[in-house]
Amino acid sequence: MKVCIAEKPSVAKDIAEVLGAKQRKDGYYEGNGYQVTWTFGHFCTLKEPHDYTEQWRYWRLEDLPMIPPSFGIKLIDNKGVEKQFKTIETLVTGSEEVINCGDAGQEGELIQRWVLLKAKCTAPVKRLWISSLTEQAIKEGFDKLKDADQYNNLYAAGSARAIGDWLLGMNATRLFTKKFAVGKTILSIGRVQTPTLAMIVARQKEINAFVSEEYWELKTIYRDTEFTATIDRLKQAEKANKGLAYLKEHPFEITSFEKKEGKEGNPRLFDLTSLQVEANKKFAFTADETLKHIQNLYEKKLVTYPRVDTTYLSEDLHPKIEGIMRDLTPYAALTAPILAKPIPKLKSVFDDKKVTDHHAIIPTGVYPGGLPMEEKRIYDLVARRFIAAFYPECKISNTTVLGKVGQIEFKVTGKQILEPGWKEVYANDVKEKKEGEEDEEKVLPLFVVGESGPHKPRVHMGKTTPPKPYTEASLLRAMETAGKQVDNEEMRELLKDNGIGRPSTRANIIETLFRRKYIEKRKKNIYATQTGMDLIDVIQSELLKSPELTGVWERKLRQIEKGEYQMETFKQELIQMVMDLTREVKTSAYKTITVTAAPPPPEEKPKKEAKPREPKKTVSIEELNCPKCKAHLLKKGNTAYGCANFKICGFKLPFEVLGKKLSDKQVTDLVTKGKTTQIKGLVVPGREGAVDGKLVLDEQFVVGLE
């Protein structure tokens, strides 16, 4: 009998269906020579300090550093886990072959290998490695099963990561807590968590230290076009007024008119981080929320494997693109121009050298019916980005005009979209213009060098602004590039090996910092709390808080994955670092840190933290976007809310439905979640008396009764 072990019951069910294992047993499916069972996430974990020696149960400086002679694993203390593990253990013991069907990534490999290690598996092991859960992908995967040894380096990298996190986290947390904390406070230190917090604290200090200064600029309007003086900003109003008087004495003269045609390259396909960034910018989704939504879409067979850090596709996928495009029926109007000619093999999309275990996130072509509103939005982002990648580039014209008034030089720039190209895919998007941002399109008149004439000069007074606080979007980007401010996509690709954390773990790191009360969110912005700032101040070691140095560790972990670095070498380097750190902190001067909401005392075994409930988010009507095309939702007279892009989109939501005037909350629920809570006294045509029920938006975005 061949035993398949999936990472979730739902995935096991899909695999069993394809293999013909139709008979449902207690904890597995059976049939056609297969038994298909499952874990549900992590079943095993590295042993805790007290599992090695009773002495390490208690938090004492004299016991540090804790360096186990070898690292062991144990089952998580959970009745459900224990019961299911017994099933796996029994099946594996009687198997002729085991097929590892875990998530096809580093974490999935680690989960499965630890389970097989704990179950003392002696049967030969094969590996199912697929990028989507469609029936076709599962069949193709079983036709091309890999030898498990091909993924030994991936397992080694996962083990090295877990051991590294244990060595640093367990020792540094106890070290700093016992040295600097007051009372029951625990100072949590982590290999990725601490440098991430250090970036937020550094930005916070810049903001706190910032002193706003007034400045003055000379501007003038010539032929209905506003020009700005190219001289440095003036620090005194008196100088600005003198400049203004000077400008009034001279005519405006055009000295240069330059028009250049250029192109705006297509946006790259999504990796997980860029998807999280886009969803945060567009819908204010947290990184964790986006990860959950895209994982759900993957398990519903709608998108490919999401925990990826590449924006490219493997070249062997090129023949399948046309079929996927044809299957995207909700986007038929957008895919038609692509399907009118052969799909190009673009270098910006297909590159085997840029793809490791998995390719970028794309749709599978399965029809996305009946999705919750949040998942619809994430699917729409993925589908449109996939389509946009195959559109022509956007052709633009950039214009630069120089002029002068007497001896003072002026400048204005403009941009014109000549051929929208890929921007047609986003034609219905309404982008909010932030203060100080240029219009996407600013068409300038035709000027002739040497022309001159009267103008209207003025003085503009402004104030310098502090650095912007991090949002989840900008923080994810900073983690990806180890704190370097990089806008260029090519450069970001090169820095990914040195990013801090992995795409799949960054969301959890940010959530951990919130949970520890080291950071807080105000609207979309992230700020360091006083506790978070105190913690970073007390850490003198750059090794613990430097994004660049943490990025070096991440690169070594990736090298282990590629077989270019030894796991044992990495482990010994971390052991040495922990020993040096312990010596340094033990002899350092005392400071104290207290947090308001203290975790359990170090003398007790900390209880497993319950995940805090998210505070309810209140969204005003003015902040809502159209559920159909994502444009703003506006009040249309006294009868309905409607899409700002109504002539094209056509979405509207009446103030009153089935005899009930909708409250702001009910409108918000309908637009953001696709349904309301229970409403009493609805009047349904054709039914006697009022009824209670929930209002829902159907797939055509029409309101009806559930």
Please give the positions annotated as active site. 305
Among 439, 441, 423, 432, smallest CA distance to 644 is for 432
Ordered alpha helix ranges (H), 181-227? 193-209
What is the rounded distance in angstroms from the CA atom of residue 238 to the CA atom of residue 216? 10
Backbone angles phi, psi at 255, to 5 degrees: -110, -20
CB 410 within 8 A of CB 230: yes
CB 76 within 8 A of CB 42: yes
Q: How many residues does the chain have?
A: 706
Q: Which residues contact 595 (CB under 8 A, 6 or more apart)?
A: 185, 517, 531
Both tokens assigned to 611: 């995940």
**Cα 688 to Cα 217, 284, 661, 683, 685, distances in angstroms:** 71, 43, 20, 8, 8
For residue 38, the 8-state DSSP code is E
Q: Which helix (H) or strand (E) holds 545?
A: helix 542-545
Q: Where are the beta strands (DSSP E) in 191-251?
A: 214-222, 225-229
Classify 418 as helix, strand or coil: strand
CB 205 within 8 A of CB 533: yes
Backbone angles phi, psi at 351, to 5 degrees: -160, 105
Residue 503 identity (one-letter amino acid): P
Residue with the two structure tokens 């497993």: 608
* C-beta atoms surrounding 534 within 10 Å: 20
What is the rounded distance in angstroms from the CA atom of residue 154 to the CA atom of residue 152? 5
Q: Which residues contact 626 (CB under 8 A, 6 or more apart)?
A: 632, 633, 643, 644, 645, 649, 651, 671
Backbone angles phi, psi at 618, to 5 degrees: -105, 130
Backbone angles phi, psi at 336, to 5 degrees: -55, -50
Among 6, 439, 471, smallest CA distance to 199 is for 471
